[in-house]
Structure 1
């Protein structure tokens, strides 16, 4: 399943920082940011992750995140 999130991540550096946590949480799943989109989209492809977990991770790092 692919989950799509609107975020406040603005740079590759910030995406990399968040990516460190996502890689720990999602070692076998894939994710990517589209920072050129006005909503700074994060797409996560996973089988068993709850979307609230992604929101919590980004919020704990000081970013806004809402599932679309």
Structure 2
């Protein structure tokens, strides 16, 4: 399953930090950002991921995140 999210992450350093935190919760997932996209896309590819958990985790670090439909 691949989920795509719109975020407000701006900096590469921020994205590296968030990917690390997400991998703690979803260790067998492939996670990356596309900061060149106007929606600052976060992609999470894994077998058992939780959209709500991802949104809550980013929110806990002060970042906006919503599922991109």
- Taking structure 1 as the reference length, the TM-score comes to 0.94
- Where do 5+ consecutive residues of structure 2 fail to align? none
Q: What's the Cα RMSD here?
A: 0.7
- Where do 5+ consecutive residues of structure 1 fail to align? none
Structure 1 residue 13: Cα displacement: 0.5
Structure 1 residue 27: Cα displacement: 1.1
User: CA offsets, 1:43-66, max 9 Å, x none?
Assistant: 000111111111011000000000
Query: How many residues are aligned here?
Result: 68
**Alignment correspondent of 1:41:** 41
Moved over 4 A (4+): none
- Taking structure 2 as the reference length, the TM-score comes to 0.93
Once residues 16 and 2 of structure 1 are traced to their aligned partners in structure 2, the CA distance between those partners, rounded to angstroms, is 19
**Alignment correspondent of 2:32:** 32
Once residues 6 and 39 of structure 1 are traced to their aligned partners in structure 2, the CA distance between those partners, rounded to angstroms, is 5
Once residues 19 and 49 of structure 1 are traced to their aligned partners in structure 2, the CA distance between those partners, rounded to angstroms, is 14
